[in-house]
Amino acid sequence: MRATLVVRAVSLCLAWSVATGQGSTHTVRGTTRDAASGQPVAGALVEVRSETFRAATRSDEEGAVRLTAVPAGRYRLSVLRIGFAELVRNLVLADLDTSVELSLQAVARGLDAVRVEAGVSGIYGVVGTAKGLQPIPGARIQVIGANKSAATDTAGGFFVAVPKPGTYVVRISRPGYAELHFPIEVPKDRAVEASRLLDSTSKVAPRGLEVLWQDFDQRLRWRAMNSALVTGAELRRYGGMLSDALQGSPPVVSRSLRITGMPCLFINGTPRPDWPLDALRVEDIESVEVYGPRGEETGMLAKMWPPGRPCGGASRPTVNQGSTVAFVVVWLRP
């Protein structure tokens, strides 16, 4: 019960209420799309606001948006994304869950300042403030799984070439702003746009965080056929409990990995031996690493797991467990 309550609190970290409301709450679902192409738009900041309530989230890599625990009422719904005009509309939420389609109109703003190399696999974009849409220079852009990083220029722009196509995790950080991380698929010989807006914050990042991210980067670079990186969007497409969603996801299925017993669970790089896998909701997840029997590709995971604690039906996973999943590392949505 304690684990469930903690995770639920994480999922509601962007929602607050000025006054304590009464009555039932509901879910607002939607998809952000480019009005011209119909393609999903990732990283859009979606907010619903009234005089007594505010909730916000960001669209995932498939453009999906989900706001939970919203009381019935009248709201101002807004969508912000660099490269698109702001979308504002009125939303009336009755005693039902609501679905909305959010079509964004592209504008020539900011992205033309980014130099993108033709015929090169890479990631580019602009980083700006969620309030005021001002560029953020000096933000650190890390491409986890490529051992590459860059800093945004004076216009907030960046470009990072990657060694090969595949799925990576982008981490954006700068003192004074809330950190973001998200998975991204990079095709062969083409750059993918990954602009984001950052919220300001006075919080200081926990000590030791960089070591966890360095180990994450190494694991993705060394990953073998007995491992998989599953995006949150893939999990939400499958639905249900996390264990079922993982087991049915294409990256896990294609590698014949099986989830049995109780794998070693890490959350944001930290071991959680007392947490069951299904205490986590798929709506709260940005990405998940899945590993079979331990080897060099698992980095520090085996060393970090508390000695003697149950894991995969044994005190520690062994090299003879076939395709049984030994480690699951869940990265929650910021």
pLDDT at 7: 38
CA 205 to CA 332: how far, in whole Å? Answer: 16
In which residue ranges of the chain is CATH 2.60.40.10 found? Answer: 13-104
CATH class, range 216-332: mainly beta
Q: Looking at the structure, give the CATH architecture of the domain made up of residues 13-104.
A: Sandwich (2.60)
CA 325 to CA 259: how far, in whole Å? Answer: 5
Bridge-based pairing state of the strands 87-93 and 166-173:
unpaired
List 46's β-bridge partners, or say none: 57, 79
Bridge-based pairing state of the strands 166-173 and 73-80:
unpaired
In which residue ranges of the chain is CATH 2.60.40.1120 found? Answer: 111-205
Per-residue pLDDT tens listing for the chain (334 residues): 434 433 333 343 333 333 334 457 889 999 999 999 999 999 999 999 999 999 999 999 999 999 989 999 999 999 999 999 999 999 998 878 899 999 999 986 544 556 676 778 999 999 999 998 899 999 999 999 999 999 999 999 999 999 999 999 999 999 999 999 999 999 999 999 999 999 999 988 777 789 999 999 999 998 888 899 999 999 998 878 999 999 999 999 998 898 887 889 999 999 999 899 999 999 999 999 999 876 667 878 888 999 888 775 444 444 444 588 889 999 999 8
111-205 CATH fold: Immunoglobulin-like (2.60.40)
| Beta carbons within 10 angstroms of residue 183's beta carbon | 23
